[in-house]
Every structure is written in C-alpha cells, then in structure tokens.
A = this chain, B = another copy of it.
Amino acid sequence: MGSPLGCGWESEGLLVQPLPTIDAHTHALNQGSPLIIIGGAEDKEREKSILKAFLAWAGGSEARLLLVPSASSMPEILAEVYRLLFVQLGAASVEVLNITNRYEAELDENVARLHNSTGLFMTGGDQVRLCKLVAGTALARAMQLASTAGRLVIAGTSAGASAMGECMIARGYSGEPPKRNIVELSEGLGLLKDVIVDQHFHNRNRLPRLMTAVASQPHCIGVGIDENTAVVLHGDGILEVLGEGTVTVVDGSELVYNTINDIQSYQPLSVGNFRIAVMAQGLRYNLRERQTL
C-alpha cells in the first residue's frame, strides 16, 4: 500500500501504518516536526533557553516565524513582545498572524503565510478564545498537515500549549480534590491525539484537575508542564523535558476503579491507581509505550 507522501511505514515493528492523513493520525503517532509545548512563564530575560530551543528547531537563523497571539485579549502587545524576542535571538523573519474571527482563519492568503513559515508560535491567553477562532478552520487543518508532514515546527505556551490537544482542558479550578466540576474539557486544535496538556502545573495546583481529566478520558495520557518548562514532542511519540521545572505524566491505563460516572459533579472522585512520573530536564518519555526512557 502506497502513501501519497511517498513514505508511509513505521520501522519500529509496532503498528505498520501509512503516514499523515489528517483524519486518522495526529502528531504523536507520526514522523512529523517536533511540537514544543511550553508550560507558561518561560524565561524571556535571562537565558531564554526554551525560546532558543524553539527557534533552533524552527531553523535558527533561517527560521521564518509566524506568531499567533489570538488566545490573548491583548494580542498586539503580546505579539510585539515575542516579535522583538525572536528578532533579537536571530530569526530570519518574524511575522504576526492575529486571527480575530473565523473568516480570517479560512482565508487562503493566511494559510499561505503559514505554508511560507518554518515555525509557528501560539501565545498564552485563553485556550477557549484561541479555539473559538481557529479550531476546525482551514488554518487549523493546515497546521496539522504541515506539522505531521515535517514542514512546520509548532510551539505554544500556556493557553497555546493547552490548545494543542484534540481533547483540551478548557477551564478548571484548583484547591479542591478531584471531582467533575473542577475541570471542563472541550475540543482543541487537534495537533495531539490522546494527550491532554496542562500548564502552570505544580505552580497552580493542577494535578487534581488533570487527574480528573484523565479519569474521564483514560485512553488519553495527561501531560502537566510547569512554568518555564517545556516538552519537545517528537514525531515518534518521544517527549523530552527542557527547562527549570518538571513534566508530570498521568497515566490512567492501569485504573482499577473510577467513580467518575457514578457521582454528582460536586462530589469527590474515587479513582486509582494512576501511574505518575515526574521528570526534570533531560528525561525522555515514550508516550506510545507509556514509560520513561
């Protein structure tokens, strides 16, 4: 069986599958460009190591970057902050694509700007705002295709990180035990399949809400990223940890009890056992095999 992209078979003996078609596959199961998933509050003043890592993956001094600040309620200001940073770090070009309505996200000329880029960076803000404007549009489909085809390195920080998943934490609360009403899930941009991202993670007491999300979608693996910390997720499903904090993986594949459908939304859950891995910089985790490398 051939592939329209001229390649199409995995070499690792797990699942033999053709390469990118939007419907069946998303990033974590394909040989695409890395996704850079940032837990928010990345250093912009000192080493800037996470921003530098994204720039390097996107082509370094030859990188043509596109900033998408549409999650933010102050998109122009935030875009200018990142534009200056990436110019100073040596990108070949840095442009801003501030989508303000869904019509703009369907325009061929905006899709063409994406195709002319080597890296795309989504800022923080509100992931629901970003998805309201972009999810399901031609621009979102172009992001998926370009990423899985290995032509575009996509980064997102904070809301821009959360929005990457097919399943997304839209909103949540902290300071309470796991229960249904501390987390709202919705559909994200679809760059990541079977992975639920959370950010500002230990900083904002978000393990209870991520455990709740995984309890409701146990086929998904939860990835909680601390501030000034990032995941570099490679096309083969291997993630690497970069930065100051930790990445916490919440694996629900061995749950033996889970009351999420038996209780009222304000009642605490009983759910176990989660397998939880905490990883600092340098560690790698295989999302397919669900184990640290």
Binding site for B on A (CB under 8 A): 174-178, 201-205, 207-208, 211, 226, 244-246, 248-249, 251, 256-257, 259, 263, 267-283, 292
Contact = CB atoms under 8 A, between A and B. Distances in A.
A243 to B, nearest CB: 9
A269 B276 contact: no
7 contacts: A177-B202, A177-B245, A205-B205, A207-B208, A259-B280, A268-B278, A268-B281
Contacts of A251: 273
A202 B226 contact: no
Contacts of A176: 202-203, 245
A274 B274 CA distance: 8
Contact of A268 (B207, B211, B246, B267): B246
Given A177-B202, A205-B205, A246-B177, A280 B272 contact: no
Contacts of A292: 256-257, 270, 272-273
Contacts of A201: 177
Given A270-B282, A275-B275, 12 more contacts: A175-B204, A176-B245, A177-B248, A177-B278, A178-B246, A211-B276, A246-B268, A267-B280, A268-B280, A270-B280, A271-B277, A273-B276
A244 B268 contact: yes
Nearest to A292: B272
A237 B5 CA distance: 60
**Nearest 10 pairs between A and B by C-beta?**
A272-B277, A205-B205, A177-B246, A268-B280, A273-B275, A177-B202, A274-B276, A246-B268, A177-B245, A270-B280
A251 B280 CA distance: 20
Nearest to A257: B292
A175 B280 CA distance: 16
A278 B269 contact: yes
Given A205-B174, A205-B205, A207-B207, A273 B277 contact: yes
Contacts of A207: 207-208
A245 B208 CA distance: 12
B278 A211 contact: yes
Contacts of A202: 175-178, 205, 208
A274 B275 contact: yes
The listed residue with most B CB atoms (<10 A of its CB), out of A257, A259, A270, is: A270
The listed residue with most B CB atoms (<10 A of its CB), out of A201, A208, A259, A268, is: A268
A126 B18 CA distance: 61
Contacts of A177: 201-202, 226, 245-246, 248, 278, 280
